[in-house]
Structure 1
Amino acid sequence: MIDTRQLEMFAAVVRAGSFSAAARELNCSQPAISQQMRALERHVGGPLFLRVGRGLRLTEAGRILAERGKAVLDELAVTHQQVRAVAALDFGTVRICAFPSANASIVPGAAAALSKERPRLRLELIEKEPPDSFDLLRHAECELVIGFSYADEDEEEATAGMLRVPLLEDRLALLLPAGHPFAGRDRVDLAEMAGERWIAGCPRCCGAFVRACERAGFTPDIACATDDNMAIQSLVAAGLGVALVPMLVLSFLRHGSVVAVPVESTIRRRTAVYTWPDLIRVPVVRATIDALVTVAHQA
């Protein structure tokens, strides 16, 4: 059986690129790292590193251990976090990692409700887009993730083993400058916008948008892309393009010189909260999820 401390040191050497750099990262001596790596190599029965100039290169055995070892360490970290939480049955802080518009719309209402029911509960908010947010949950750096996916995406690999609790299916709106010919319309078909220049969103949203445009029969002319919702609206207001945005964004942010018009398209953005099955048994985690579901259903 490989010693987990040796595996952690090995992972640090792989990350840092040398024994001395790994020693600095782990706040220990280089001889200690060297000694443990020699012991690890004796245990596995062969070398894990080759000297290349002043650096190190992994052998094939080292490459396999680096690959599999990372997964083992990640799983141990998650298991430790889950066991600690379930054993304690409760903890005073719940860490939520959410994409920006969820942090600005769904989370505040849930936090307000929780503050009345559980005044001692503390929420820590982290902002990341999926799939990076799922990595935080997998690495035990948060208890809950509010993420989104599109109907034509397969998220099974990123969320394998996680519990998914649906929150809402977000409608989309076309964001237009106030003087645009379609600004007074009740609804616009995406195909009607084939000749427009576009302001795109985050990479994942941009990918879904491009696929929807292709299904509508055109390739969008994207002038620029940003994951800043206020910047998107300001760029549209300045006449630099139009944008397709989730209604969730417009529930808390609306530039005075833009108009939102519902759009007919094949894009469906599904928002959900994710956690580990064991963590749902922790009362404060369950309460936080319930509050998020309640607020999302009111959105």
Structure 2
Amino acid sequence: MLNVRRLLLLTEAAERGSLTAAAEALSMTTSAASQQMSLLEREVGQPLLERLPRGVRTTAAGAALAERGRAVRRELQAAQADVREFAALDRGTLRLGSFPTASASLLPLALTRFSGRHPAIRTVVRAGVLERLREMLHVGEVELALMWEYEWNRIQDKDLTLAPLLDDPTVLVVPADSELLTRPAVRLGALAEQEWIIRAENHPVAEVLRRSCRLAGFEPRIAYESHDYQEAQAMVAAGLGIALAPRLALTNRRSDVRLLAFASDAPAPVRRILLASPRHRAATPTARAMARILHTVAQQFTDSGLDRAQLGAVRRGGGARH
């Protein structure tokens, strides 16, 4: 196979009529250019340049190769332009993985900001449960993925880089007229007689409820198994029971339910939201840009989200909307 750099040297020499000028164009010394041209002629088995008293000219074979070299040079220049466009975020596709809670809270704002700053980038989002998200990262189906973990199910994966985005507290969802709103603080152990709305079995929040209640010394009495958080809120509003939910899952809260934080000395489990990426693959410019935006958005959710003091104010004030 012909050496591309030597072929480009021949092309420059043919166009400039000078091996010295061709060397300068390619940032080579004249002696190095002469050596490379001799090597190219040995590779093809015939002369390619005729040395003249003032400069050089191509042989018939040299002229034919120089024309091929022009086509190669055009393709290389186009490739360089492509790379510059990708680096400048003027072209390309960003592939993200997410899960429903994040897709309904953090992700929309991040996507809006990303598309506003980089309108030429196409964004594709794939949703999945935890194991599916890990698989998509491993096989390269996505570049980044929003993931979650609790204390008892930390993600252990040496092939992933995990960057914490924010802590997502578990809150209590009660009807707007609940007597629990009058209590100065809520402890799970005091809720043993309550009926509970639970997410359908095998959902992580169902495990949160059962684990938390058992640690508090009781088994929850299940009144309804819901299949999404809006359904759970509706059943709470109807007075069928109360529910636990991660705070991010309640970004779109119904007006007829209220959210209560647990007492500071008896908190409910906190879910950690993570941004995951493959450890052994370099991040693309688009992935790095989205990662920065996601961290900024997560910080804004942390700063503006209802903390325990604000939740207490909601409880005493009769449930101002948020």
TM superposition score category, shorter chain reference? 0.5 to 0.7
- Residue 112 of structure 1 corresponds to 112
Alignment of 1:4-83 (within 5 A): none
Asked whether 1:255 is paired with 2:247, we answer no
TM-score by length of 1: 0.65
Compute the displacement of 1:129 (Å): 2.8
Selected match of 1:292 from 289, 294, 301? 294
Q: Is the 8 A contact 1:185 1:261 kept in 2?
A: no
Compute the displacement of 1:140 (Å): 2.6
Compute the displacement of 1:186 (Å): 5.0
- Flag the 1:108–1:240 CA change in 2: closer, same or farther, 3 A: same
Compute the displacement of 1:231 (Å): 0.8
How far does the alpha carbon of each residue in 1:129-163 deviate from its partner, in whole angstroms, 9 at most, with x for none? Answer: 3233222222332222111111122321xx34111
- Flag the 1:183–1:131 CA change in 2: closer, same or farther, 3 A: farther
Cα distance in 1 for residues equivalent to 2:125 and 2:245:
23
Q: Is the 8 A contact 1:101 1:249 kept in 2?
A: yes
- Residue 234 of structure 2 corresponds to 234
- Residue 159 of structure 2 corresponds to 161
Q: Is the 8 A contact 1:237 1:257 kept in 2?
A: yes
Which residue identity lines up with residue 296 of structure 1 in the other structure? A
Residue 188 of structure 1 aligns to a residue in which SS? coil
How far does the alpha carbon of each residue in 1:33-57 deviate from its partner, in whole angstroms, 9 at most, with x for none? Answer: xxxxxxxxxxxxxxxxxxxxxxxxx
How far does the alpha carbon of each residue in 1:265-289 deviate from its partner, in whole angstroms, 9 at most, with x for none? Answer: 3411000011112445311101111
TM-score by length of 2: 0.60
Cα distance in 2 for residues equivalent to 1:226 and 1:98:
21
- Residue 191 of structure 1 corresponds to 189
Cα distance in 1 for residues equivalent to 2:194 and 2:253:
21
- Flag the 1:212–1:280 CA change in 2: closer, same or farther, 3 A: farther
Compute the displacement of 1:185 (Å): 3.7
Gaps of 5+ in 2: 1-82, 302-322
- Residue 123 of structure 2 corresponds to 123
Cα distance in 2 for residues equivalent to 1:195 and 1:127:
37
Which residue identity lines up with residue 249 of structure 2 in the other structure? V
- Residue 244 of structure 1 corresponds to 244
Residue 293 of structure 1 aligns to a residue in which SS? helix
- Flag the 1:232–1:92 CA change in 2: closer, same or farther, 3 A: same
Compute the displacement of 1:102 (Å): 0.7
Asked whether 1:270 is paired with 2:272, we answer yes
Residue 179 of structure 2 aligns to a residue in which SS? coil
- Flag the 1:240–1:160 CA change in 2: closer, same or farther, 3 A: farther
Of the structure 1 ranges 183-192 and 208-217, higher mean CA displacement relative to structure 2 is found in 183-192
Q: Is the 8 A contact 1:103 1:125 kept in 2?
A: no
Q: RMSD between aligned alpha carbons?
A: 2.2
Which residue identity lines up with residue 293 of structure 1 in the other structure? H
Cα distance in 1 for residues equivalent to 2:145 and 2:162:
10
- Flag the 1:142–1:279 CA change in 2: closer, same or farther, 3 A: same
Runs of 4+ in 1 over 6 A off after TM superposition: 88-91
Cα distance in 2 for residues equivalent to 1:125 and 1:286:
16
Compute the displacement of 1:101 (Å): 1.8
Compute the displacement of 1:246 (Å): 1.3
- Flag the 1:250–1:280 CA change in 2: closer, same or farther, 3 A: farther
How far does the alpha carbon of each residue in 1:182-224 deviate from its partner, in whole angstroms, 9 at most, with x for none? Answer: 0344531111111111112361221122111111111112233
